[in-house]
Amino acid sequence: MRYVSLKFIEILQDLVDLLERKIDETEKKYEEASKLCEERLKQVVDTEKKYEEASRLCEERLKQVVDTETKLIELKTSMQRLSICILYFPKVSMFQSFLCYLFSFSTVSMYALLIYS
């Protein structure tokens, strides 16, 4: 009977050792998975920061484009006004044409230029 119990104890000890190894392996896998999860989380945070920076830059560039388009439209409008002044008032001096341009073709300013020329 004593022999059987010693054999049983050895089997139990082997099972305990096996379980301890399995626990150690599982802990190592858990630690590796945790490290990998932390790395991925860090990558996600870095990517979010880059995305936010890119979005901010995109908004700035869009604002610059809109501002540039506005200035371009203003320039084209000014050129048209000046060319109309020069074309429709050939007897008017350049200075008077410029005044016409400044007053944006108000009827009063056109008549005043014609009268004073």
Query: Based on the number of CB atoms within 10 Å of its own CB, is 103 exposed (0-12), middle (13-18) or buried (19 or more)?
Result: middle
Identify the residue with better confidence: 15 or 100.
15
Q: Over 23-90, what HEC string results? A: HHHHHHHHHHHHHHHHHHHHHHHHHHHHHHHHHHHHHHHHHHHHHHHHHHHHHHHHHHHHHHHHHHCC
Residue length of the chain: 117
101 has pLDDT over 90: no
111 has pLDDT over 80: no
Q: Tens of pLDDT along 23-68?
A: 999 999 999 999 999 999 999 999 999 999 999 999 999 999 999 9
